[in-house]
Structure 1
C-alpha cells in the first residue's frame, strides 16, 4: 500500500468519526431545549433516527448518489458491498463511511 493512500484514508476516517460524534452534541442541544423528563426520549429518538438513516443510505442512498446512470440519478450499486472506488485516492469503505456520516447527521 502507498503511504499517501493510507494517510488519506486515515484522515477521512477520523473526519467521519468526528462528524458522527457531532450527533452527541446535537442530542445535548435538543435535550437542553426540553424538560428533564423527556431527555431519554430525545436521545433515543436521535440515535434511532441515525440508525434508520444509515440503513436506508446503505440500501439505496449510495446507489442513487454514486451509481452508474444518468447525470441526476444512479441506477446501480445499491446495497453497498465494500468495493473500492477508483480515482479517489482512498479506501472505498472509508469513503462510504464518510458519506454515511453526513447522510445520517442530516
Structure 2
C-alpha cells in the first residue's frame, strides 16, 4: 500500500514540475502586446447606489422604458434614470479615454 501511494505522489510531483516548467517557458506578454478584445473587468458587489435592478434582470424580467431613458436616450436595463457612481468610476479608470 505504501509503495502505491509513493508512486502516486511521485507522479503528482512530476506532473506539477512538468506543468510549472512548461508554463515558465511561455513568453510573457507586456501590456502593449495585449489585445483590446478583453477589456478590464470590475466586479461590483452592489449596494443601493450601484445595484439598480440587476436582481430583476438576473431573474429574466425585462426592464424597458421609461427606466433609464436619459441614459444616452435608450433604456439602460436597470431601475435608474441616468448614470451611477460606478459608471463614472469606470470612466475615470478607462485608460483609452
TM-score (norm 2): 0.29
Larger fraction in helix:
1
TM-score (norm 1): 0.27
Q: Which has the higher contact order (CA 8 A, sep 6+)?
A: 1
Greater Rg over alpha carbons, structure: 2
